[in-house]
């Protein structure tokens, strides 16, 4: 063995004696098990909650819907809000306030491909007022 090996061996031995053999072996086994699990399973990308990662969707007025589909479909009693169906009951348009600005009503976040989420503007079915609870946004839990 060369000097570097002996030096490392001496440091590990001193550390093991200081920590105690049982504790040292237990921690070493846990570290090895963690490395094996990481190698076999891989990084758990995509398993986290969609809202916790990547670029945000910026839903209408900052409100996310509840009950969205995994692919970002709007909940029941809501439909996709586009630039052609964003007329409020008072005649104003949501696009004039910067809401429902996409002609198809959905888009992808700016994250890299494979980590993107599909975003969708949703509007309550029927005549709507341009305030309070009549529009929201969905974000997919699936990655694209």
pLDDT digit string, tens, across residues 4-24:
777 777 777 776 666 665 665
Instruction: Compute CA distances 39 → 29, 36, 42, whole Å.
Output: 15, 5, 5
Bridge partner list, 97: none
DSSP for 28-72, please give it.
Answer: HHHHHHHHHHHHHH---TT-S-GGGSSS----GGG-B-SS--TT-
Q: Is the pLDDT of residue 37 over 80?
A: no
Please tell me the predicted confidence (pLDDT) of residue 11: 73
């Amino acid at each position: 063995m060369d000097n570097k090996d002996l030096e490392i061996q001496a440091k590990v031995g001193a550390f093991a004696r200081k920590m105690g053999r049982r504790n040292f072996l237990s921690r070493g086994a846990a570290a090895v098990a963690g490395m094996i699990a990481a190698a076999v399973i891989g990084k758990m990308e995509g398993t986290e909650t969609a809202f916790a990662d990547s670029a945000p969707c910026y839903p209408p007025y900052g409100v996310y819907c509840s009950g969205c589909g995994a692919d970002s479909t709007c909940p029941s009693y809501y439909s996709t809000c586009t630039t052609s169906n964003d007329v409020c009951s008072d005649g104003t348009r949501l696009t004039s306030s910067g809401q429902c600005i996409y002609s198809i009503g959905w888009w992808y976040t700016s994250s890299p491909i494979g980590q993107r989420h599909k975003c969708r503007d949703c509007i309550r079915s029927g005549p709507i007022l341009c305030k309070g609870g009549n529009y929201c946004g969905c974000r997919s839990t699936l990655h694209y």
